[in-house]
Amino acid sequence: MSRETRLLMGMPITIEIVDNGFDGMLAEAFAIFADVDARFSLWKPESEICGLNRGELAQADASPEMREVFALAERTKAETAGFFDMRRPDGTLDPSGIVKGWAVRKVADHIRAAGACNFFVDAGGDIQSSGNNQASEPWKVGIRNPFNPDQIIKAVTPKGWGIATSGNYVRGDHIYNPHNPAETVCGIVSLTVIARDVLEADRFATAAFAMGRAGIDFIELRGGLEGYLVDDRGIGTETSGFGAFVTQ
């Protein structure tokens, strides 16, 4: 079993591989995250995204990775009626609402391709797991109480699906409604989405959060997604199929 946590992309990232014989895989996996950070960080002036925003690089000349993320962002914008938009009100490009899930899926795919069957990748709450944990039991993920991060309010078994949580309770009001950027998203504190993989969970969690309380209805109506919303009164609302993932 191999397990390590590193601080990358401004967050703790934990990778655990239960299967034996993959000790060198951790270094490879973290190298992927480091490359994503170097390419997409809005806080590193030398990053590719910063070069694009300064006009030093044309989108047509961007890397294949950047073009892939941009295409996913535009697809998500179309699928969410514009509630996901990587273009900020000031015109700069910010695909960070999709990059984390994209990176986790990229790492999970790399580990799986190497032959590992039982592993867990967690980047700041965006999680992709596979198989079982060290105790030969299904992986379990806790959903934190946004009003008390030390408390777990739901425990779920992802069953190989991806999970992501969006909220403004840790980083402040960094998620906004693109249709009305000046208005704070109200009525919602956190929204957890479970989807077929972590990228799907991440991109729709971000967009649905921007919808406010209506976000849980969007998750309910879209196939292949389940969700759990906590509103500003501390009341939880879950989609009809969410209970199938809840464990004791």
Q: Is the pLDDT reported for residue 169 higher than 70?
A: no
The closest of 103, 130, 141 to 13, measured between CA atoms, is: 103
Confidence label for 54 from pLDDT (cuts 50, 70 and 90) = very high
State the pLDDT at residue 180: 83
| Residue 56's CATH number | 3.10.520.10
pLDDT: which is higher, 178 or 161: 161
Confidence label for 23 from pLDDT (cuts 50, 70 and 90) = confident
Confidence label for 64 from pLDDT (cuts 50, 70 and 90) = very high
Average of per-residue pLDDT values in the chain:
94
- Structural domain containing residue 123: 2-247
State the pLDDT at residue 154: 96
Domain count for the chain, please give it: 1
Token representation of residue 143: 């959903």
Confidence label for 186 from pLDDT (cuts 50, 70 and 90) = confident
The letter for the amino acid at 224 is G
State the pLDDT at residue 35: 98
State the pLDDT at residue 172: 46
Angle value at C-alpha 163, between 29 and 112, nearest 5 degrees: 35
Torsion of CA 47, 49, 53, 56, to 10 degrees: 60
State the pLDDT at residue 170: 53
What would the pLDDT profile of 121-163 be if each residue is shown by its tens digit?
Answer: 999 999 999 999 999 999 999 999 999 989 999 999 999 999 9
